[in-house]
Amino acid sequence: MSNRFYTSASSTLVRTRIVAKCFHRQRRFISSLTARRYPFGTAARPKFLSSLDRRGLCCNSHQHSTAASSPAVPASFAEWSGLSAWRFSKVDNRRVWGDKGPVARSGQASGDQDLCYSQTLAACAAEVLLTEDPKQKALLTHHAWQKFQAGGMPVGQAQPPPQPARPARPQLVPPKQVPIPKQSPLPLPVYMLHNLAHVELNAVDLAWDTVARFSHLGLDQGFYADFARVADDESRHLGWCLQRLEELGYAYGDMVAHSILWEGAQASTGDLAGRLAVVPMSQEARGLDAGPRLADKLVGCGDNRSAAIVSRIALEEKAHVAVGVSWFTKMAAAMGEDPGAVYRHCITSLGQQEALRPPYNHASREEVGLKQDWYDRSLWPSGIASGCAQAHTASAACSIGTQKEVQQQAITPEALQSLKQRMATVLDVELCSAK
């Protein structure tokens, strides 16, 4: 992947105060971009995208902007130290869990036959989302990422399906119908691995959905590359879990599962800031909290091999959370808003407060840039409701859905309350399995 995909924030996010002449000149320039990017008319262009264009978050022909001034990124913010190395790392072909850790499949070569026939990254994303079989989904993901990394394939545009394709098993049920470990017919290690496999399957789909759903924005190509790489990581994690389940004599689908992770993310389909807050910064961050505890539990069960897999997955999740924090912080800075206030507003307005229940792994969260006063509700300012109302401008500025989309996807208070209750049930089951 060329280094031009990941220039510094100072070259990609530009905050300028435009005088009257320059403002009108830039509006004409943005209008010309709109005509090329949105051939069906300006009504299809998100309301606040022009503001992001002026600040450099959207780039022409997927190039980074090169203006001289810098956005007001908080002085206290520092990206995770491993993020740059993760972004520039080679394609990881270690998709089998060997005797001592992940290894490449025997006979596997980087030039394996390409199974992804789509010609753009966004189209590949839609192709993966429409694939039912988990193993095939993981394989297509890896081939799509290899193809994109090799160069020459543009991001393009694609419309994701309303729901990802799913296999006949497991049966998807309401969270309250998912048995707790003591009530499950599966041994505890298998129970935990099955839950983790289901999480990783959803993570693959959510990463690709982010690529496809926001592909029409023409954001910096680094944004799409980041989430395509996340999808590849998650597909590798999914493969390890499926492999280990088979080694133990079980298979994915041997117990029921829920769809709450996908439902929670669907609440953010019209809001880029909301998607970043909900998926990498909340759902993925739960992996930082729960991973070490689950690994210790597996060691206590005598399953060191499964514990090693879980520990490795938890370690690699740091990059996924860091990616979300990085783009979210840059977006908030480009809009001149406090990222903590925007995050709190996104979480509360989308009914995701239950995703922030303790216990937390504060050290790991802090390491990847998640500030404790963002997610720890005990530290939230008093009168958070009024604070969220004040942050409405930031949320609106970061909202990228068209007015028609937002109206169609409006969430009723009753639906939000139901989502909160279901998320609480899921977290109760998670905490119970880790005890």
pLDDT tens for 406-433 read: 333 444 455 444 444 444 444 444 445 5
Please report, for residues 283, 359, 387, 388, 420, the alpha-carbon distance to residue 278 in angstroms, rounded to integers and kept in the order given. 6, 18, 19, 16, 13
Has residue 122 got a pLDDT over 80? yes
Q: Which is more confident, 265 or 29? A: 265
Please report, for residues 231, 248, 288, 306, 323, the alpha-carbon distance to residue 311 in angstroms, rounded to integers and kept in the order given. 19, 18, 10, 9, 20
Residues 382/387/362/331 CA torsion (nearest 10 deg): -170
Q: Which is more confident, 35 or 410? A: 410
Residue 179: pLDDT band by 50, 70, 90 thresholds?
very high
What's the rounded mean pLDDT across residues 387-404?
Answer: 40
pLDDT of residue 401: 39
Has residue 17 got a pLDDT over 90? no
pLDDT of residue 429: 42
Q: Which is more confident, 415 or 216? A: 216
Q: Which two tokens stand for residue 375?
A: 């997610």
pLDDT of residue 260: 86
Q: Which is more confident, 269 or 295? A: 295
pLDDT of residue 264: 77
pLDDT of residue 378: 92
pLDDT of residue 197: 97
Q: Which is more confident, 47 or 265? A: 265
Backbone angles phi, psi at 141, to 5 degrees: -60, -45
Of residues 420, 321, 302, the one with CA closest to residue 366: 321
What's the rounded mean pLDDT across residues 307-326?
Answer: 97
Residue 77: pLDDT band by 50, 70, 90 thresholds?
confident
Q: Which two tokens stand for residue 202?
A: 């959803």
Tell me which of 36-50, 79-93, 112-126, 173-187 is least confident: 36-50
Has residue 216 got a pLDDT over 80? yes
Has residue 25 got a pLDDT over 50? no
Give 37-51 pLDDT, tens digit per residue: 332 222 333 434 444
pLDDT of residue 149: 94
> What percent of the chain shows pLDDT beyond 90?
59
Q: Which is more confident, 14 or 188? A: 188
Has residue 75 got a pLDDT over 70? no
Has residue 252 got a pLDDT over 80? yes
Q: Which is more confident, 28 or 246? A: 246
Residue type, position 120, single letter:
T
pLDDT of residue 397: 43
Q: Which is more confident, 291 or 49? A: 291
8-state DSSP, 335:
T
What's the rounded mean pLDDT across residues 61-82?
Answer: 56
pLDDT of residue 410: 43
Has residue 8 got a pLDDT over 50? no
Q: Which is more confident, 24 or 129? A: 129
Tell me which of 306-320, 346-360, 390-404, 413-427 is least confident: 390-404
Write the DSSP assignment of 234-261 as a string of letters: HHHHHHHHHHHHHHTT--TTSS-B--HH
